Homo-oligomer: A and B are copies of this chain.
Amino acid sequence: MPKLTFWFEFASTYSYLSVLRIEAMAAEAGVAIDWRPFLLGPIFRAQGWETSPFNLYPAKGRYMVRDIERIAEARGLVFRMPDPFPQNGLSAARLATLGVGEGWVAPFTLAVYTAEFAEGRNISEPEVLAEILEKVGVAAGPAFEAAGRGEIKERLRAATEEAIGLGIFGAPSFVTDDGELFWGDDRLAAALAYTASVSRSS
């Protein structure tokens, strides 16, 4: 099955939209999804941004909320802006990095985004993450212990470096095996179609 890599950042509002629908759309397109957590913070800081562009540019921030509200209504989803925004997603990203190796990244990530953007919970809190881990069948204690190791921290740092090398500057991003980058939930369908068509023609 052709593969599309899904780069997501836990603080990203538009990533929420993709997390909720990517597996269903990928199944329909006959594409496998490779879930890849990374951090936008270092990428934003490298271009002089100390917080989300939606905070730095208030008109853009207000628009983003309304845009997602309209999309959520059209798709029948719940959406609420987290408080504070952006959430600190470092612990979630380390756990998700562990989950990539252990096979539970997708259900864990879906549950984290739902807690953050539908239930209004603070995903930087260990209790919230522990509850989510248990809900998706992962023992929280060992997962926290493993996610805190240098190896996982290093793997997440390396993922962020790899993202920069692929030209990624925002989330969600989708990258095909031949290096095509698609940015934004509104490019998900095009990314899947491209992936499926390259596979058919090769």
Q: Which residues of A contact B (CB under 8 A)?
A: 47, 57, 59-60, 62-63, 66-67, 70, 164, 167-170, 180-183, 186-187, 190, 194
Known contacts A47-B57, A57-B47, A186-B186; A181 and B63 CB within 8 A of each other: yes
* 22 pairs of residues in contact across A and B, judged by CB atoms under 8 Å: A47-B57, A57-B169, A59-B164, A59-B167, A59-B168, A59-B169, A60-B169, A60-B170, A62-B167, A63-B167, A63-B169, A63-B181, A63-B183, A66-B180, A66-B181, A67-B182, A67-B183, A67-B187, A70-B180, A70-B190, A70-B194, A186-B186
How far is it, in angstroms, between the C-alpha of A70 and the C-alpha of B174 when the chains are bound? 15
Interface of A (DSSP majority class): helix
How far is it, in angstroms, between the C-alpha of A66 and the C-alpha of B59 when the chains are bound? 26
Which interface residue of A168, A180, A183 has the most chain B CB atoms within 10 A?
A183
How far is it, in angstroms, between the C-alpha of A44 and the C-alpha of B111 when the chains are bound? 38
Cβ–Cβ < 8 Å partners of A170 in chain B: 60
How far is it, in angstroms, between the C-alpha of A57 and the C-alpha of B49 when the chains are bound? 12
* A1, chain B: closest CB distance, angstroms: 23
Cβ–Cβ < 8 Å partners of A57 in chain B: 47, 169
* A163, chain B: closest CB distance, angstroms: 10
